[in-house]
Amino acid sequence: MKITNGYICEIDKSLIDLGAIEMDEIVKGLIPTNMSEININIEDNLKTFKIDRNENIITGRGIKGFLKNIKNTKAIVKYDEHKNELLLKNLDEISKEDETFNMLKDSSKAYEVIKDLAEFKFGEERWIQIYELAKDFATIPSFDKLLSQNHLREMELFEYQIRTVKEVLKRFRGRALLCDEVGLGKTIEACTIMMEYIIRGLARKILIIVPPSLVEQWSNELKRKFNQDFITSDDPEFKKMGDKAWEHYPKVISSINLAKRKQNSENILKIHYDLVIVDEAHHLKNRKTVAWEFVNKLDKNAILLLTATPIQNNLEELYNLITLLKPGQLNTYSEFKKNFVKSGELMEPKNVEKLRTLISDVMIRNKRSDVDIKFTKRYAKTLEVKLSDIEKKFYDSISNFVKENYNDKQNGISKFTLKIMQAELGSSVYAVIPTLEKLSTNDSISIENRKNICGFMEIAKEIGDKRYEENTKGKTLLKIINDFNDKIIVFTKYKPTIGFLEKLLKENGYKIAVFHGGMTRKEKEVQINHFRNEAQILISTEAGGEGRNLQFCNGIINYDLPWNPMAIEQRIGRIHRVGQERDVHIFNLEAKDTIEAYILELLDKKINMFELVVGEVDMILGDLNEEEQGFDDLIMNIWTNAEDENELKNKIDELGDKLLDMKNQYTKIKNVDEKIFGNLFEAREE
Amino acid sequence: MSNLQQFVIKFFTTLGAAIEEVDYALIHVLIDDEFKNIFGKTELKLCFDYEVYLENPKYELVTFGSFILDKIIDLSIKLSNTSIRYAVVDNLNVAEPEKKIKKFLNLDRTNLEIIDEKKFINYFVKYSFKVTYASDNTIEEFEDAVIDMKSMSISNKFYDNLNSVFYESKPQYDYPLNSNIDFLMALKEVLKEIDRIKELKTEQLGNIAIINKEEERINLYYDSLKIEAEKRMNRKNLSEEKVNDYKHKIEIYNMEKQRQLNEITEKYKIKTNVFLQNAVVYAVPMIVFKYKILGRNNSNEECTCFYNTVLKDFGRFI
C-alpha cells in the first residue's frame, strides 16, 4: 500500500465506551484549531463528530460503532481541509500463509516481524542495539574470522599462525601437513584449527596421536591454553573402561604405539573421527609400517600431520605423508618416482616446480626467516659453586642413601620419593627437610634407614642454623644479581627454597616479588606488577606463569635445575619470547659432582641447549624419549646404578656421545628439508 | 573488561537487572522474576575468566557455548523484532537548488525554474537476516539489506551510510508520509537481494574448480592403481590365487574411487537457510522539487526530482 501525503496515527480507544477517542499528536496537528467539528471518513462511510480541545478528544454518538472498522491501534490518516474531513484507513493485514514466509527458515519469527511492521507496532530500540552486539557471539562466521582467538588463554596468535590456520581451514579443508620450522608453534596452530572446528560444532570426535613422551605435554597444553579436557589413553579411567573407552570418550590423546596395537586399532578403526591430529608425523614416513597403515585406515574428516622434518632419508617419505592426507595427490608411488625422483637418487627431486605445486596444496611450512618476529640471542653462563664441607657432607650422605635404596624394592621408600629427594637436595637444604621429616615418621621404613634420615635432619638443622650469608649457593646468587644489576628472575622448583631466597635477598636489601602456583590470580597479578614497577628480583616457580608478560626482564637464574630439559626450556621461554628486545642471559649454578652438574655437562657442553632455538631440544631429545624413558629417569638410573665415580663418568660420556649424535642427525635432516623445501611453503594471505 | 563481559553487562542492564561488579571478571546479577524461567533463577553469579573461575567455582563461567551465553543470545534475537528510527538531519534545506539539480541532471547549460518545493517523509527499511551455509563446514553470515520504500528498490547507498545516520526514537518532523508501507512486498524484494548474495557466496564456497581438481585427482589415482594392478595380473605364470588377489584389489580400487568421489560431492554441496532476524525502519525527510526546464522548445513540461536529506543527494522518482 502506498501512502501519499498521509500520516500514521494512533487510534486510542480507551475512552470509547464513554463515547470518545483521544487525539494523538498527529491528528491534533492536522485539524485546524478553529474547527469544533470534524467529518470522519472510514472506507466511504462519513460521520460528523465534535472536537473537545480541552479534553483533547473527538466525541459524539455512535463513535464506538463507527470506529469498529478500524482494526488496529494504528491507522493511516489524511486531512482534507476543503471538506474538513479526516480520512482514516486501515493498515494492511498480513497473512501467515503468504508463500514468502515459506522461503524463510523459522517462518513464524518472520511473520511476527512483518506483522509488527505492518501494524506499525515497533519494539524497543535498545533490543536492536543488543542484537547488534550479540551478533559477535551469535553466529558461526566464515573462516575469515577466527572464533577461537577470544578463547585462547595465556597467549596470542602471531600473524603467520593466523594465516596458517585460515589457510588450512579454507583452502586445505582441514587436511594439511604442518611443517613449520622448530619453535614456530605447530602445536598451537593445530590446536587452533581444532578449536575452530569445535566451536563451530564441526568436530566432536577427535583423536590426537603423539609419541609416548608427548602425551602428557599435549594433555596439559590443551587444558591450560585451550580449556580442552582430553583424556589420555593411559589414564586409569580410560584403561578401566577397556575397549569401549575409545568409543565412549569424545576427545582422546593416545600414543601411536598404543593406538596401533591390534586390539586397540580394531576398535579405533570402527569409529568415525571428525578430526585426527598426528604429532611428530615423520614417524609415519614408511608406508609399509603398521603405524602408517593404521593412520591411513582411520575414518576421518579432517587430518593434520605435524612435523618439522617431513623428509629424513628419502623423497618417498614425503610421498607417504602426503598420501595419508590426500591419496593420489602425488599419484601412485611408481608414477611419483617416475615423475619426480631422479633415477638412482633417492633425495634428488626432478620436475621441482610441478612437485612444489602439488605439495603446496597440502603443506605449510613457515620459516623463522619469513615470519615477522624478532628473535634475540641467548647467552648462558654456568657458575661453579664450591659447597662448604658440611653442605658437601649433606649432599653426599643423602645421595649415597638414595643410591643404596633406589633399586631396593623392600626398603619401604618408593623410587619416586627417592628421586624427589635427590632433586630437592639439588635445590637447597630447606627443600629437602619436609621430605626428610615425613620419612622419619614413616613406620614402613626400616629402623636403620629412619636412623639415617634422622641423622640427615640433624645436619640439615646445623646448616639451617647458620647465617644465610654463609650458604655458598646463596653467596653465588648474590654475586650474580649484583653483577647483572638489572631485573632478573630466580627460578626454583620448591616452595621452601623460595622462603629461603626471599629472606636472603631481603636481608641484602633487594626489593623482591614472589610468584608461585599456590597464589590466586589476583595475588599473581600484584606480584608481577610489583616486579615490573619496583622489585629488581622475581623469585618464581615454573607453575602457572607462561602467559605473563615478563619480556621487560632479560635475565634468569636457575637456582636449581629441572632434570627435564623441556622444563628448563619453559623457564627460558618466560622471557625469551616475542617482544623481548634484548639478548637473554641465563645463569646456572653448578656444584661439582652433583647430579645437576652432570645434567649441565650433557645439556650445555654436549648439545649447547641453552643457545639452541626454542623447540630444538625437543627435536634432538625426541628420539631419546621414544625409548619410553624420560631424560630424568635416564639420568637417575645412571646416577644410582654406577658402581663408582669412574663408571658414572663413563656412562655420562656415553650418553653425551649419543646426544651429540642425535644433534648431528637432527642438523643433517634440517639441512635436507631446507634444501628441498626452501622458502616456498609459508602460509599466505589469499 | 573483555568484550564478552561488556556485552553481558549491557544485556542485563537492558533487561532491567541489577548488576554488581564484584571483582575482576566477577559479577552478580539480579534479574526480574519474569525471566526466571529462562535463566532458571533470579540471582546469577557470573565469571568471565577461566583462571578466576577456578578460584571461584560457585560462579558460572560465561564463555562460548555456555548455558548462560546461549540463553542471552536467544533472548537478544527473540526480543529484537522491529524498531523505528527517525532520522535527524542538520540541514533541511538545499542551498542553490537550481544549480544542484542542473548538476544532477547534467544540464549545466540549461536554465531551470523551480516551481514548487515540498518536504515529506520516506521510509527506508533495513531487514536483517542470518544465512547459514552448510556443507562439510557450516558458516553463518549476517546479511542486511536496505530497501527504499518509495521506489521499492534496494538502496545500497543508504546501507553503506547506515552508520552515519543520526536518529531519535520519537518523530522529529511533521512532514507527511510519501512512501509505500507494504512491508511484505518489501521483504520479497529484499529476499531477491539476499538470494543474489547467497548465490555468490555459495559459488565462492563451493568452488567448482576445486571440486573438478579433486575429482581429477581421485580418478587419476585409482585408475593408475588399477592399471598397475592389471599389468601385474597379466604377467605370465601367475597362480590362480594371485590372479584372484589382483582382481579383488581392482574391485576395491573401484569401490574406493566411487566412495571418495561421493565424499567429495557431499563435502562441497552447500545447503542454505535464511532466517529473518529483525527489521528497522528509518523515517527520512526528503524534499521534492517540481521544476520546469526553460528554453527547450518552450516546453512547459513539469518535472520532479527529490533530495534525500540523509544521503545528501538527488534522485528521480521511478
Q: Are A206 and A273 in contact (CB under 8 A)?
A: yes
* Chain A contact present for B130, CB below 8 A: yes
Which domains are assigned to chain A? 7-89 (2.40.330.10), 99-137 (no CATH), 148-364 (3.40.50.10810), 378-465 (no CATH), 475-677 (3.40.50.300)
What pLDDT does residue A154 have? Answer: 66
pLDDT band at A679 (very low <50, low <70, confident <90, very high): low
Regarding beta strands A2-10 and A74-80, do their DSSP bridges make them parallel or antiparallel, or are they unpaired? Answer: antiparallel
Q: Which chain A residues are Cβ-neighbours of B283 within 8 angstroms?
A: none
Selected for mutation to probe chain A from B6, B61, B83, B85 (highest A CB count within 10 Å) is B83
C-alpha cell at A412: 619401604
In a domain, B53, yes or no: yes
What pLDDT does residue B263 have? Answer: 86
* Cβ neighbourhood burial of B50 (10 Å; 0-12, 13-18, 19+): middle
C-alpha cell at A561: 635445575
Q: CA quadruple A128, A130, A136, A141: dihedral positive or negative?
A: negative
Whole-angstrom Cα distance, residue A141 to residue A121? 32
Span B187-205, pLDDT tens digits = 999 999 999 999 998 888 7
Span B56-83, pLDDT tens digits = 989 998 877 788 988 999 899 888 999 9
Among A434-438, A544-548, B10-14, the least confident range: A544-548
In a domain, B19, yes or no: yes
Q: Cα-Cα-Cα-Cα dihedral of A540, A546, A551, A552, to 10°?
A: -40
In a domain, B235, yes or no: yes
In a domain, B143, yes or no: yes
Task: Kindly state whether residues B168 and B95 are assigned to the same domain.
Answer: yes
What pLDDT does residue A666 have? Answer: 85
Mean pLDDT (whole number) for A296-321: 91
Q: Within the 129-148 window of chain A, which residues sit less than 8 Å (CB to CB) from chain B?
A: 129-131, 133-143, 147
Whole-angstrom Cα distance, residue A84 to residue B59? 66
* Chain A contact present for B275, CB below 8 A: yes
Determine the residue of chain B that is closest to A152 in CA distance: B50
Q: Which chain B residues are Cβ-neighbours of A326 within 8 angstroms?
A: 217
Whole-angstrom Cα distance, residue B32 to residue B26? 20
Q: Do B52 and A521 touch (CB under 8 A)?
A: yes
Task: Kindly state whether residues B34 and B59 are assigned to the same domain.
Answer: yes
Mean pLDDT (whole number) for B280-287: 96
In a domain, B186, yes or no: no
In a domain, B216, yes or no: yes
Among A136-150, A374-388, A636-650, B157-171, the least confident range: A136-150
Mean pLDDT (whole number) for B167-193: 94
Q: Which chain A residues are Cβ-neighbours of B3 within 8 angstroms?
A: 136, 150
What pLDDT does residue A248 have? Answer: 96
Quote the crossing angle between the two packed helices A333-340 and A315-325, to the nearest 10°. 130
Task: Kindly state whether residues B169 and B67 are assigned to the same domain.
Answer: no
Among A133-147, A322-336, B230-244, the least confident range: A133-147
Q: By three-state DSSP, how is residue A23 classified?
A: coil
Among A100-109, A485-494, A561-570, the least confident range: A561-570
What pLDDT does residue B298 have? Answer: 58
Domain final residue, candidates B64, B79, B94 = B79
* Chain B contact present for A543, CB below 8 A: no
Q: Are A631 and A624 in contact (CB under 8 A)?
A: yes
Whole-angstrom Cα distance, residue A365 to residue A349? 18
Task: Kindly state whether residues B52 and B168 are assigned to the same domain.
Answer: no
pLDDT band at A328 (very low <50, low <70, confident <90, very high): very high
Task: Kindly state whether residues B163 and B287 are assigned to the same domain.
Answer: yes
Range of the domain at B55: 3-79
Q: Model's pTM, two decimal places?
A: 0.70
Among A21-30, A392-401, A661-670, the least confident range: A661-670
pLDDT band at A510 (very low <50, low <70, confident <90, very high): very high
Span A563-594, pLDDT tens digits = 888 788 888 888 887 778 899 999 999 888 89
pLDDT band at A441 (very low <50, low <70, confident <90, very high): confident
Task: Kindly state whether residues B285 and B263 are assigned to the same domain.
Answer: no
Task: Kindly state whether residues B277 and B254 are assigned to the same domain.
Answer: no
In a domain, B195, yes or no: no
Q: Within the 498-537 window of chain A, which residues sit less than 8 Å (CB to CB) from chain B?
A: 520-522
Specify the residue for cell string 641423622. Answer: A455
State the DSSP string of A45-101.
EEEEEEEETTTTEEE-TTHHHHGGG--SSEEEEEEETTTTEEEEEPPPP--TT-HHH
Among A52-61, A396-405, A665-674, B190-199, the least confident range: A665-674
Task: Kindly state whether residues B175 and B43 are assigned to the same domain.
Answer: no
pLDDT band at A239 (very low <50, low <70, confident <90, very high): very high
What distances in angstroms separate CA A138 from CA A223, A604, B233, one per listed residue? 25, 52, 58
What pLDDT does residue A206 have? Answer: 97
Mean pLDDT (whole number) for A476-498: 94
Q: What is the mean pLDDT of chain A?
A: 88
Span A45-81, pLDDT tens digits = 999 999 999 999 999 999 999 999 898 999 999 999 9
Selected for mutation to probe chain B from A127, A133, A324 (highest B CB count within 10 Å) is A127
Span B22-31, pLDDT tens digits = 988 899 999 9
Domain final residue, candidates B60, B79, B98 = B79
Task: Kindly state whether residues B92 and B223 are assigned to the same domain.
Answer: no
Task: Kindly state whether residues B92 and B173 are assigned to the same domain.
Answer: yes
Question: Does residue A650 or residue A228 have the better pLDDT?
Answer: A650
Question: Does residue A24 or residue A183 have the better pLDDT?
Answer: A24
Task: Kindly state whether residues B42 and B55 are assigned to the same domain.
Answer: yes
ipTM of this complex: 0.87
What total number of domains does chain B contain? 3
Mean pLDDT (whole number) for B203-212: 81
Question: Does residue A630 or residue A494 have the better pLDDT?
Answer: A494
pLDDT band at A226 (very low <50, low <70, confident <90, very high): confident
In a domain, B189, yes or no: no
Q: By three-state DSSP, how is residue B100 classified?
A: helix
